[in-house]
Amino acid sequence: MSDYAAPIADMRFVLNEIVGLGEIAGLPGYEETTPDLVDAVLEEAGKLAAEQLAPLNHSGDREGAVYENGVVRAPGGFKEAYRHYVEGGWNAVPFEPDYGGQGLPWALTSALQEMWNASNMSFALNPLLTQGAVELLQSHGSDGQKAAYLPKLISGEWTGTMNLTESQAGSDVGALKTRAVAEGDHYLISGQKIFITWGEHDLAENIVHMVLARTPEAPAGTRGISLFIVPKFLLKEDGTPGQKNDLRCVSIEHKLGIHGSPTCVMAYGDGGVCVGYLVGEENRGMEYMFTMMNNARLAVGVQGLAIADRAYQHARAYARDRVQSKDIAGSAGPVPIIRHPDVRRSLMTMRTLNEAMRMLAYTAAGVLDRGKRHPEEAARQRNQAMVDLLTPVSKAWCTDLGVEIASLGVQIHGGMGFIEETGAAQHYRDARIAPIYEGTNGIQALDLLGRKLLRDKGAAARALIEQMRGSLNALQAAPGEDTRAIRAALERSFDTLSSATGWIVEAGGRDLRLAAAGASPYLRLFGTVAGGWLMGRAAVAAAGQLGQANGDGVFLAAKIKTARFYADNVLPQAQALATMVTEGGTSTLAIDEDQF
């Protein structure tokens, strides 16, 4: 197993040069985000990830969460590591100071999320869901609910979960059967939920479940779903955990990966008195839950990046140490495999895609910050429209690539990559869930098509494409052959994305099935081009700093080289993806169901 070292220099570069963290720090409420504070946060988070979380990753995978007689125990060391996480205030970073948060930007939080997930994805899933629950209650909870639950959730002393899925419903949430019957100031909840991440565990003194259920007179489908707070322990008058609520973990799943994270089957109301508290109004639960889901989707996009970077670090260390075969150009004896061109191609692919994903995921978070904090309403609306557009792209593109990059990591290890002891296989196994949960990537593609492109007839997408085109002038002015080549490749890719966007909006208006058949390649195309745009901006920033003799020359030169690699080896995929979008749908739908 290789050690984990957070790529802090790259994180800092992306936050400063691509996201514009300095500008975000000038927004109301973010004034404490000084460069010195940011540096200290990144350094200390990197230490926690490397020293506390990463050493538990492989052991947690081998040991797994344990279920015995309704009790769930996390793997050895997790409880102590979580205590360090809470005591360090890490869960509170992006939340309102009114309830104990630190009021720092989500862009900075994304860098921390990358560290937690890269060092130990199973562990990081716990705070990921808690932070989503906080976002939900901040947006839709009553004053009393906020006062009762937010301080402990924000600190991390209590954890939160998301309860949507039922065995008969799956992704069709509108088919859920969990019931909620009003009784005084609360509701009685009855039903069963599956796939509840960290639904039961021994890390925190209370677990606050966000549960979707249907009241007796509710209309069918998603229009009849309400949202309830269902705590593991009901609160006493002083706000501390009291009587155990009527809920229990029936079992935990035996999974391909993320073994250290208990995925629970939860039963509510078996004894008839499971108490839940309505959030907001009846029949608006799905609307409210989307706040938590979208928060989680952005975080899962970061997860795809994180596991990919951990796989890259692992493969890079192996390629430097593994000596095998002579150099193809001639050598006296065998050399480290990193000298072999095909291994270098694989490592460059991993590194370059990681850089592009980091830029996209952090950019989405930075746009979210502007959408929350910009003093002008029109600017907030523009930024919110962009984050709405980027959320499905970031989630799906980064998690698909996370699987592919983890697979490349196994390949670089050769036969040893297939052996569990090396640890390379764990990254691949862990990565595979991310394209599935929080809405499968096919659902993300349909969301991009229906809720984003067709709803506004492509206006937000075209606005972003025009923003991308604005970067071409800076590339034209930057010195060097590399930046000229990057500019030419980007200009072609922008044209390709623009044409595909126009086609899919037009096709969606006349034949929704045809447009839907091209939705997944369109999302991949969008992510590929957006990643190239950001890599081009990174090359311009690096060239500018090199020209002024600022910064680490080796680091900055590598930024230009990876951007050129992206232009030469990744952006050419855009045309093929556009062909799949515009011409692949007819053959996709041509075969009859009984011919499969």
> What residue ranges define each of the domains in the chain, with the CATH number in brackets?
8-141 (1.10.540.10), 158-283 (2.40.110.20), 451-588 (no CATH)
Are 538 and 559 within 8 A, CB to CB?
yes
Q: What is the pLDDT of residues 9-55, one digit of tens each?
A: 999 999 999 999 999 999 999 999 999 999 999 999 999 999 999 99
pLDDT at 329: 86
Asked if the model's pLDDT at residue 129 lies above 70, the reply is yes
The DSSP code for 52 is I
The predicted pLDDT at position 549 comes to 85
Tell me if 104 sits within 8 A of 32, measured CB to CB: yes
Q: What count of other Cβ atoms lies within 10 Å of the Cβ of residue 464? A: 22
Tell me the percentage of the chain whose pLDDT exceeds 70: 99
**Which pLDDT does position 1 carry in this prediction?**
61
Note the pLDDT of residue 468.
97
* CB of 487 closer than 8 Å to CB of 536: yes
Is 280 exposed, middle or buried (CB count within 10 Å of its CB: 0-12, 13-18, 19+)? middle
Query: What is the per-residue pLDDT for 231?
Result: 98
Cα(first)–Cα(last) distance of the chain, in Å? 43
Active site residue 438: yes
Q: Write down the pLDDT at residue 331.
A: 77
φ, ψ at 336 (rounded to 5°): -55, 140
Q: Kindly name the residue from 200, 438, 481, 583 that is annotated as catalytic.
A: 438
pLDDT in tens, 164-213: 999 888 777 878 999 999 999 999 999 999 999 999 999 999 999 999 99
Closest listed residue to residue 225, CA positions, set 277, 297, 288, 145:
288
Band of the pLDDT at 551, cuts 50, 70, 90? confident
Asked if residue 394 lies in contact with residue 420, where contact means CB atoms within 8 angstroms, the answer is no
Look at residues 247, 293, 300 and name the one whose alpha carbon lies nearest to residue 272: 247
Say yes or no to pLDDT of 346 above 90. yes
If you average pLDDT over every residue of the chain, what do you get? 96
Q: Is the pLDDT of residue 307 over 80?
A: yes
Calpha distance 148→153 (Å, rounded): 10
Task: Give which of 163, 451, 161 is closest to 286, Cα–Cα.
Answer: 163
